[in-house]
Structure formats: C-alpha cells, structure tokens
Amino acid sequence: MRSVLLPLLAVGSLLPLVSTAQSGDPHRHHEKRHDRMGEVTGRIELADGQAAEQVSIRVKGTSLGVNSAADGTFRIQAPAGWQVLTVTCLGCTPQEVTVEVKPGQTVVAQPVRLAPGEQQLQEVTVKGTKSLNERTPSVGKMPIAPLDNPQSTVTIEREVLEQQQALRLSDVLANVAGVYIMGTTGGAQEEIASRGFAYSSSNTFKNGVRFNNGIIPEVSSLERMEVLKGSAAILYGNVAAGGVLNLVTKKPQFERGGSVGLRLGSYGFVKPQFDVYGAVGQSKTVAFRLNGTYERGDSYRDGVKSNRVYVNPSLLFRLTPKTDLIIEGDYLRDNRTPDYGIGAINYEIQDSRSRFLNVPDATNATNQTSATATLTSRLTEAWQVRAVGSFQRYDNDLRSAARPTSIVGTPGATYGNWTRGLQRTETSENYFLAQLDLTGTFRTGFLGHTLLVGADADQYDSNVTGYTNPASAGSATTAVSTYDIINVLDFSKKIAQPTERLTGFNSLVRNSLTQGNTRRAGFYAQDLLSLSDKVKVLAGLRWSYQETPSNVYNFNTVANVNAKTANTYVETRRYDNAFSPRVGLVYQPIKTTSLFASYANSFAPNTGIDLQGNTLAPSLIDQYEVGIKNELFKGALSANVTAYRIVNSNQAQAVLPNDPRYNTDKTASPQELAGQVTSKGVEVDIQSRPVNGISLIAGYSYNYTAYTKSNIYEDGSRLRYNPAHTANASLFYSFGSVFANNALLRGLSAGVTGYYVGDRLAGRNNRKVNPANGQPWPATGDAFKLIALPNYFLFDASLGYAYERFSLRFKMANLLNELSYNVHDDNSINPIAPRTFSATLGYKL
C-alpha cells in the first residue's frame, strides 16, 4: 500500500492550499500571532509508521493551513478554544482531529496515522516534487529548511544521475557550481576542490561518515549527493574551508522491487549492475536492500585498463514505531593501471591523448570495506536522537614507474629523454567513528529554537610500507635507481641503457614503515533562533581536540642493505585543539526569498616546528558569506546566488635562513604563522522542478585564490588547479506530457548537458626568494614555472526510452572531442576523455 500511497501524497502536495504555509517550511503561518492565538504541533504517519510529508493540515473554518515536513511533523497557529484540524491528501481518507487550543501555549496533538482511501486510482508517477530550496541535506545534521540556512547547499537527486547516466563522481559534480575536479593523479582518483581548497578524505563523506577518497567512488548506489559549501568545521571539526561532500546510498524499503541493467561503452567498457529491495520474508519490521556492480574496460590511454567489483548491502530494523536502526555495508575492489599521464618537457605539455609512460606490469590494487550502523529514535514529537557507529578498512598496493618529473633538455639528440625509476608502496588503514546527535524544537517566550547538541570521536590508524632502490653491487653507498631510459616523444628511439638497472618491482627493498594513529574528538552545539517569521539567527560553537602520533621505522638503507631490523626509529606526537564558531543572519522579506550573511571559522593542523622548537599551532581560517535564495514561479524554479571571502591569515610558511630570528640551536627549518591566502568568488545555482516534462539545472562560479602575503611567492600569485570560471547547464525533456495517450511514445526522453571549465594553472608557482638561503630566486636556471591549461567545454547528449518495465538509454559524451588536461604539479598530466558512446539496457523487477 505504501508504494501507492507515497506517490499519491506527492501528487497531493501539488494541489493548491488556501493560504497555506510555504512548502517545505511547516512552521510558517499567515495570520499574526496575538493574545487569542495558540499553537498546535503533531506528526503525520503512514500506515507503517513512517513519516508522511507534504500532507495538508488545516484549521477547519479558517484560512490557516500548513503541510507536514519531511519528518512528518507540523506546527500551526490556531485561535484559542476547541478547534478541528482536517488532515487530507490524495489517495487517503480525510481525518479530523479535535484539540483544545490555549492562548499563548503549545498543545501537542496525537499522531495521525493515515488510512488509504476507497477510490482506486491508476498508477501515478511523480518526479522532482521538491525544489532545490526544499531539500534539507542530511549532512547538515539539523532539520533546517535551506531558506532558513545562512549557507549555500546543493542536492543532486538520483533522477538526475539516471537522466545523465552518471558514471563517475565528476559527472555528478558537473551539476554543482564551484565544486570541481582539480586533478586525477595516477588515474585512480578524482581530486575534488571547492572555493580554492582541496577536499581531502576529511571532507568527503558517505552517509555522514568520512571515507577515504583515494580511489574513485562508486556512484551506481547513490540515492543523492549533498554538498554543503563553505565552512563545516562546527559540524565535523578538521575539514577544509571549501565545503563538504556527502554521498547518500540507497536505503531499504518494505515494498518489493528492484532493477537489473547492463551498460556498454567505448573502449570495451562493460558494466552489469543490479538493485533489489523489500521486506525480509513477510516482516513488517525488517527490510533489506542489496545493490552492486561489476565493471571492466580498456581506455583511450595506451596500455591502461581497469576492473572493479562493488557491493552495497543494507538492513532496516523498525525496532519500535519511533525507532529505526539501519546497518549498511560497502565493499569495493578496484584494480587498474596507474597512469601519471603524458609528461611535460621544460614545463610545456606535448599534446597527446594516448601517450602512456608507465611500465607494462604497473598495478594499483585497492580494497575498501566499511560498515555503518545508524540508530534514530523520535523521543517526542519535538525531539530526536541519532547515534552512528562506523568502521572502514582501506588497503592499497601500488607498483608503478616513478612520476615523469625532471624531463628537461634542449632540442637535439637527447630531447625528451627520461630516466624511468620504480616506486612501490603498501598502505593499510583502519577508521573508527562514534557520533551522537540530539535535535529538537521548542520555544522560550517569543523565540523559536531548532537545537542541535552533539559529540563525535574518531580514530584513524594507518600503516604505510615504503620501498626504495637497492644498493649497487659495486658500492654499498650507491643505489641502483634506473629501470630504463625512454624518449617520451618517440618510444621506438634506441637509447643506450645503463649497465646496472632495476629488474622489476621485486628488486626494490623495504625501506620504511610509517605508523599513524590520529585521534579526534569534538563537542558542538548549534541553535536556529526564530526571532520572527522573517528574521532568524543561526549560532553555534564547536571545540575540537586532535592527537597525532607518528612512528617511523627505517629498515634497509643504501648503507646497510642487509639489515634485518629497523636501524633508525623516529617518534613524533602533537596535540591540537581549536574552537570553531559560526553565526549567521537570515532575513526573509517574503516567503519565497531569503537573504543571508554569515561568518564561520575553521582550522587546519600544521606539521612544522616554530622558532622555539615547539609544534606549530593550527592555522585558523575565517570565512564570510552573503547570498540570496529565491523560489520563483510558485516554486517551479530555484535561483540562488552566493558571494564569499575566505582568508587564511596565519598560514604556515618557512622562516628563511637569512632571517635574524633563525636559530639552528633550537630547531632546523622552523616555520611561522605569518603567510596569508585569500579566496573570493561568486556562485550561482539554478534548478527547476519538472514542468510539462522539462527540467533544468544550471550554474556559474567565479573564484580567485591567491597568495596575499608570502615571503617566497609574489603577492597576488594564483594558487594552482583552481579554475577562475566554471559554468554548467543541463536540460532534459520527457515526452510523456505530449504523448500521454500513446503508450509507445510517452516513455521517450532526451537531454543535453554542457560544462565549461575556464583558465587554470598547474606546474609550480614562481618564487621571488630561494627558501634554501633566503636570496633572490635566480632569473635563469632551474626556475619553477607555471603551466597554463587549456579551457574546455564538454557537451553531452542523451536519449532514453522506457516501455513498461524495460528502459534503454544512449549517451554521447564530449561530442566536440575537446582536449584538455588535469594536472598535478608538472608530473601527472592526464588528458580528459575523448568523444565516447554508451548504452544502458535496464529492466525493473
């Protein structure tokens, strides 16, 4: 019954209400509060006890009305005295609830359990019923409507992923202004950044839990992707200032269903996938979901191939009508050829799309496993507690040629010659997390409160085994470092090879074991204060503690290649703590427009030593943000504009050797918090609901991130990898509204997507001072240089057709065959994919 009732509820939410509150904000009312008014709160539930959102609640005989929120709750103003609330939705039986309303007080109504109506309706499919400013991202931890949140947020739903046939996370990110891929080092990961700051593993989450982004994540299991732009330090502690990204996977459902599919594409790409869900047996309290995929393919890059297996099981336990437990697993095995790109000569890219510089037996093998348990309990209609426990295991074995660095030379016989070495590392990581959040709504006098109080603790254990070159047979102090010498422009060129060379990865010797054991804890509180219907203040504070011990064991060295045990041992331990405040003001002149301004602070731990020999304190980063959020054309179109300024005014930088404060008796290579980096920009996010079969996503971002104070770099020097401009537009059309009466044609859909990336810089920033001696950097010689990367515009087109349970989708990516590169420094220069084609056949179970 619930499978029919849910879409009917969504249809009911589209029916006009007489003077109702703004959709997605059930706490609004249209009549002024006065001495003879009171307040009623309650909750609407489906037949199985789950929350029913967008259900109409009206005070009978008045013009007062609201819709239930995502958690089924509602809050409505009503005249004092005995009042009748009418609860209605399409496909359910209307109900009436009688309550006594007292002046100036809040009364809690009994939960209303919806019952199906007697009228039998045909199947109704409703898509995109929520606008951008009605989707509250779970990564924000609080039930705050986006219009009430003084921060830019974006949610990309599964429908968009299916329309665009998203294969990689970069395909999904192309729908979010200001979040971009800054590099693809080694071809094994997509390095994400926003507002000039890189998203490390501390900034990427899956179901609200940090996960290691060292390997490309799987997107076939996603229900949605959430982006919380700007500072999120108050919620998660040590995260970069650019924002956080949360991947939300598909959840169990009690109604049975699922799908199977097969995707085929260019370069031998094959990807079967499945997704099944339903109740366990005939249970009404236990449901499951299992989805997974296998993938293999070659590449437009010579010699590159990959294969991966992914499984995502989950169980839902309805422990009580008000308490749910979800247990989710995640397993990914990814094997691929490490690919550091085409190389550069003298900081100049020699254009190519296929040139491959690695050795034939190079491998990058990764296994990633996680388990997460989430317990959610509604203590009362106003209060909820949420507890999360999680474990993640990450293992990686990398065997590759060294990165193609130091390819220098002048035109001639040796131009383009590169001496290849080998590298090998083994990494294992364990990550543990415990988190507890309490959220609730209440009033103190005229103030309304939406409160979050929480605590979290995590531990990150890592072991990295490093390998080095063996000693030369002729000298214990000389290493054999050359595998071979090739010419990156002409592989057929015959080059004299050294007499003593590395024979392969097994010739490398274990050199070091680095053990890390980062421990973090935090306590935080945040409150959304409703001063009136138009003015709200969000304020909060977090205290974070971080302990970072590290043990480094050095085993075999060139001088002692036969050592069986560690011959040196280095232990370091540092302690950091910081306060992260946040305050924001929201003003809503009308119910569909929100103006906001906010300040937030985040911190970044440092690893250096100061002039006194003490561990360097964390850098504190200030962020200022203003913006406007709009719901236009009765919620059919959301248009948000945000401007920001982020300042790291105490960035760590080296104290130069010629500085009179430099004292080698206390410490070598001291650092100080005296540098400054500033990021500023504007972002525009536009999304529409489907209207007459048309849906639109568009965006634009401008960013300028630069050194604004440095003793090494020129003031105003742009930081690398960050595009100054990005723009995106996606337009999809479903022909169902045109061919509604034609069973063969109403399943037809088509769409186009465009994505523009403006000027970027790679290479290495020019220096005005040599940090080794504090003297001016030489104008000639081994000077660092920047690499200007070509702008590019990606244009994709797709065509889909669905008939009954079958669907077939085609996608043509990069139709213009644009060529550009993702570059890290000057040694991982990876061309973007050329024009490709794919087709996906699906069947709904």
pLDDT tens per residue, range 645-697: 999 999 999 888 888 887 766 667 888 999 999 999 999 999 998 888 899 99
Asked whether the predicted pLDDT for residue 529 surpasses 60, the reply is yes
- What value does the CA radius of gyration of the chain take, rounded to a whole number of Å? 29
pLDDT tens-digit readout, 20-49: 333 334 333 333 334 578 889 888 888 767
pLDDT at 6: 38
8 A C-beta contact, residue 620 and residue 599: no
What value does the mean pLDDT take over residues 798-820?
A: 95
pLDDT tens-digit readout, 71-94: 788 888 888 888 889 998 876 788
Residues 170, 175: Cα–Cα separation, whole Å: 9
pLDDT at 32: 39
pLDDT band, residue 128 (cuts 50/70/90): very low
pLDDT at 413: 86
pLDDT at 3: 40
Query: Which sign, positive or negative, has the C-alpha torsion 111, 117, 118, 123?
Result: negative
- Coil, helix or strand at residue 193: strand
- Per-residue tokens: 135: 């989707």
Complete DSSP assignment for 634-668:
TTTEEEEEEEEEEEEEEEEEEPPTTSTT--TTT-S
Element housing 806 (H / E)? strand 806-813
Q: Average pLDDT of the chain?
A: 88
pLDDT at 89: 83
pLDDT at 780: 57
CA distances (Å), 743 to each of 384, 562, 808, in order? 46, 76, 16
Q: Torsion over CA of 485, 487, 493 and 498, rounded to 10 degrees?
A: -10
Asked whether the predicted pLDDT for residue 122 surpasses 90, the reply is no
Q: pLDDT: is 519 or 780 the higher one?
A: 519
Asked whether the predicted pLDDT for residue 512 surpasses 60, the reply is yes
8 A C-beta contact, residue 60 and residue 88: no
If you ran DSSP here, which 8-state letter would residue 621 be given? Answer: E
What value does the mean pLDDT take over residues 742-770?
A: 91
390 φ, ψ (degrees, to nearest 5): -150, 150
Q: Which residue(s) pair with 459 in the sheet?
A: 432, 519
8 A C-beta contact, residue 279 and residue 318: no
pLDDT at 607: 86
pLDDT tens-digit readout, 381-397: 899 999 999 999 999 99
pLDDT tens-digit readout, 604-646: 888 888 888 888 889 999 999 999 999 999 889 999 999 999 9
8 A C-beta contact, residue 376 and residue 388: no
Complete DSSP assignment for 288-324:
EEEEEEEEEE--SSTT--EEEEEEEEEEEEEEETTEE
pLDDT at 567: 66
Instruction: Give the percent of the chain with pLDDT over 90.
Output: 65
- Top mean pLDDT of 115-129, 194-208, 308-322 is at 308-322
- Per-residue tokens: 621: 């980063």
pLDDT tens-digit readout, 542-601: 999 999 998 888 875 544 444 445 567 788 888 999 999 999 999 999 999 999 999 999
Q: Which residue(s) pair with 245 in the sheet?
A: 204, 227
pLDDT at 418: 93
pLDDT tens-digit readout, 314-331: 999 999 999 999 999 999
What value does the mean pLDDT take over residues 695-711?
A: 96
pLDDT at 432: 97
pLDDT tens-digit readout, 95-116: 888 888 888 788 888 888 887 6
- For tokens 């024979």, name the residue: 503
**Maximum C-alpha span of the chain:** 99
Residues 287, 301: Cα–Cα separation, whole Å: 44
pLDDT tens-digit readout, 266-316: 999 999 999 999 999 999 999 999 999 999 999 999 999 999 999 999 999
Residues 465, 552: Cα–Cα separation, whole Å: 10
What value does the mean pLDDT take over residues 179-198?
A: 93
Q: pLDDT: is 641 or 780 the higher one?
A: 641
pLDDT at 18: 31
